[in-house]
Amino acid sequence: MSDEHVVVVGAGMAGLVSALQLAHRGMKVTVVDPADQPGGKIRQLMVQGAAIDSGPTVFTMRWVFEQIYAAVGERLGDQVQLEQLPIIGRHAWTDGSTLDLFADPEQSREAIRAFSSPQEADRFDKFCQLIRKVYDTLEGPYIRAASPTPLSLTKDIGWQGLGVLGGLGAMPTLWQSLRHQFSDPRLIQLFGRYATYCGSSPWAAPATLMLIAQVELDGVWSVRGGIHALVKNLEKLALQRGVTFKYKNWCQRINTSQGRVIGVTLQSGEVLNADKVVFNGDAQALRDGLLGPQAQGAVSAKSPPRSLSAMTWSVHARTSGFALDRHNIFFQNNYAREFEDIFGQQRLPQQPTVYVCAQDRGTDTPPTDKERLLCLINAPAVGDSQAWTQETIQACQTQTFSMLQSFGLSVHAGSQDLICTTPQDFAQRFPATGGALYGQATHGWMAAFARPYGRSQLPGLYLAGGSIHPGPGMPMAALSGRMAAEALVADRNSTKRFHPAATFGGTLTQ
């Protein structure tokens, strides 16, 4: 083990990946997190003895995790059991129509033909070709690149890539683009919803976000034991490589001396000296000075707009009346109104889209008794500015479950069978976010380039997580954890003497 000590602040997906990679390279690593277990947003809640995945539920981009495991000499398939889901998502509308998207594109095409029309099935084919091209164009030069800029992207995607992105039209939004590609409003709604995977509105997100549809069409997996089993496994591998986990500890301050990081101070008063620090909290916490004035200059001062928050219900109950699959989406008629309520009016949507993850379904025989559900609606990230009363929360709950009822789905849950989590709850767990779950909103073309990179502007401080490039979602956060570790190792290995201003060009707050 080298003498070099790295403190990782936060045991979310990105923090765990960074810690694992760095410990595998022989560094001494300490991870600090206020929770009593790893995962951050990836967590299980116990409801009446049932462990319910209450954060992310859609596992995609398996290759990201395969590469992360391979980089530390492990095989993902040996460590966690993944099963590919035959149905990606079951979608339902108020007119009683339903549409499944399948892992097999041919099946999806047939389903769309039956659900809508042969012409719409042809349009789906064209859409699939387009999103494949958009994804392939952006994977290397944007998703995998450590610090892409509009200029580097233009250079790296080449003429062919420019042709693909140029073909989307002059800076259209995702919604505008989808309106050109489909006639059936239900399909526009279905594919527009992918903007919410980045916590954004389809009316403001750039058309390039259609690549998220490709990510899902490339495969959705379930994790045996729940998604939390993945973070427990990452923790286990990190422990095997000597990582120390200090749970139930907030990091209160990132300490610096002569313009570079020298360690952290915990809320308990304990000081951990470190050569380098990886920060896995939200970048906004640095910006707001929550980690001390020195760390404030590590990211640009401008606060970007927040992404979506959510109201969630972790439920253990019997259901009836609607044939749930694993991932179910219940759409309302006025989709635009949902985003106007959230982003425009900063209030709970009057007519929310409801997502229900039925965690005992998808691969095995459906449950015959109580089952585990995560129900989720989008909400504004106002957890630090609005105090909602119990009446507001209860009214939202009643409305959400009545909406499900209007689709035929009865959830037979008493108050003891569910746990509700609000933006206010998320805001407490993720400081400076107001409960925003996906970092900044990806609104406008430049938003994708506005996220900080893994190497911060403060020497010795590295950043990883959903608010950092390449963005939110488990695989992206995992990639950012890897990039932060790689930047740290590259800097360590650099034989050049360190000249902060020359290297990073940043303004440092001393």
Ligand X SMILES: Cc1cc2nc3c(=O)[nH]c(=O)nc-3n(C[C@H](O)[C@H](O)[C@H](O)COP(=O)(O)OP(=O)(O)OC[C@H]3O[C@@H](n4cnc5c(N)ncnc54)[C@H](O)[C@@H]3O)c2cc1C
Q: How far is the CB of 14 from ligand X (least distance, A)?
A: 3
Q: Which stretch binds ligand X (CB under 6 A): 19-27, 209-217, 423-431, 482-490?
A: 423-431
* Structure tokens belonging to residue 200: 């954004």
Q: Determine the residue type at 365.
A: T
Of residues 448 through 477, those in contact with ligand X by CB under 6 A are: 465-466, 472-474, 477
**Least Å from the CB of residue 58 to ligand X:** 3
Which residues inside 40-99 make contact with ligand X, applying CB under 6 A? 40-42, 55-58
Tell me if residue 285 falls in helix, strand or coil: helix
Residue selected from 19, 29, 34, 91 as contacting ligand X according to rule CB under 6 A: 34
> Cβ closer to ligand X: 35 or 51?
35
Residues 281-340 that bind ligand X (CB under 6 A): 281, 285, 310, 312
Question: Least distance (Å) from ligand X to the CB of residue 439?
Answer: 7
Q: How far is the CB of 473 from ligand X (least distance, A)?
A: 4
Out of 27, 88, 210, 437, point to the residue binding ligand X (CB under 6 A): 437
Residue 389 DSSP class? -
Instruction: Mark the segment that binds ligand X (CB under 6 A) among 13-21, 150-158, 186-194, 486-494.
Output: 13-21
- The gap from C-alpha 175 to its chain's centroid, in whole angstroms, comes to 21
Shortest separation between residue 285's beta carbon and ligand X, angstroms: 6
Residue 16 CA: distances (Å) to CA of 250, 464, 492, 507: 16, 10, 20, 29
Size of the chain, expressed as the number of residues it contains:
510
* 221 torsion bin: left (phi>0), alpha (psi -120 to 50), beta (else): beta
Q: How far apart are CA 387 and CA 427, in angstroms?
A: 11
Question: At how many degrees (to 10) do helices 62-71 and 13-24 cross?
Answer: 30
Alpha-carbon distance values, 118 to 112, 123, 441, 474 (Å): 8, 9, 36, 36
- 11 is an interface residue for ligand X by CB under 6 A: yes
* Cβ–Cβ < 8 Å for 222, 326: yes
- In the bound state with ligand X, the residue whose beta carbon lies nearer, of 281 and 454, is 281
The residue range among 149-157, 394-402, 424-432, 501-509 that interacts with ligand X, by the rule CB under 6 A, is 424-432
Cα 290 from Cα 361, distance rounded (Å)? 42
Taking the complex as a whole, the smallest distance from the CB of residue 492 to ligand X amounts, in Å, to 22
Our CA dihedral for 498, 294, 300, 277, rounded to 10 degrees, sits at 60
Q: In the bound complex, what is the minimum distance in angstroms from residue 56's beta carbon to ligand X?
A: 3
Selected binder of ligand X within 102, 250, 449, 504 (CB under 6 A): 250
Q: How far is the CB of 316 from ligand X (least distance, A)?
A: 17
Query: Scanning the structure block, which residue is given the tokens 């650099």?
Result: 494
- Kindly state whether residue 9 participates in binding ligand X, applying the rule CB under 6 A: yes
3-state secondary structure of 189: helix
| Site map 181..220 versus ligand X, x via CB under 6 A | ----------------------------------------
Q: Toward ligand X, which CB reaches closer, 207 or 310?
A: 310
Q: Where are the alpha helices (DSSP H) in 5-117?
A: 13-24, 62-71, 76-79, 105-115
How many binding residues for ligand X (CB under 6 A)?
37
CB 386 within 8 Å of CB 272? no
Q: Strand 327-330 and strand 87-92: pairing?
A: parallel
Question: What type of residue sits at position 287?
Answer: R
Site string for ligand X, 358-387 (x = CB under 6 A): ------------------x-----------
| Minimum CB distance to ligand X smaller for 112 or for 375 | 375
Kindly tell me which of 37 and 410 has the beta carbon lying closer to ligand X: 37
Question: Least separation, in Å, of the C-beta of 429 and ligand X?
Answer: 6
Q: Which position among 30, 280, 332, 378 is part of the footprint of ligand X (CB under 6 A)?
A: 280
Least distance between ligand X and beta carbon 197 (Å): 7
Nearest distance in Å: CB 204, ligand X: 19
Nearer to ligand X, 57 or 332 (CB): 57
Best CA proximity match to 214, nearest among 153, 129, 156, 148: 129
Q: How far is CA 42 from CA 65, 212, 307, 377, in A?
A: 15, 20, 18, 17
Q: Which amino acid is at 318?
A: R
Nearest Cα to Cα of residue 220 among 77, 327, 96, 341: 327
Which string of b and e fits 330-344 if b means at least 16 CB within 10 Å? bbbeebebbbbbbbe
Using the minimum distance from each CB to ligand X, give the nearer residue, 305 or 500.
305
Token pair listed for 107: 């099946």
Omega before residue 150 within 30° of 0, cis: no
Nearer residue to ligand X within complex by CB, 182 or 197: 197
Considering the complex, what minimum distance in angstroms separates the CB of residue 476 from ligand X? 7
Using CB under 6 A, which of 28, 33, 165, 208 touches ligand X? 33
| Interacting residue with ligand X among 45, 157, 251, 488 (CB under 6 A) | 251
Check residue 423 for interaction with ligand X (CB under 6 A).
no
CB count within 10 Å of CB 262 equals 18
Where does this chain bind ligand X (CB under 6 A)? 9-15, 32-35, 40-42, 55-58, 250-251, 280-281, 285, 310, 312, 376, 429-431, 437-438, 465-466, 472-474, 477
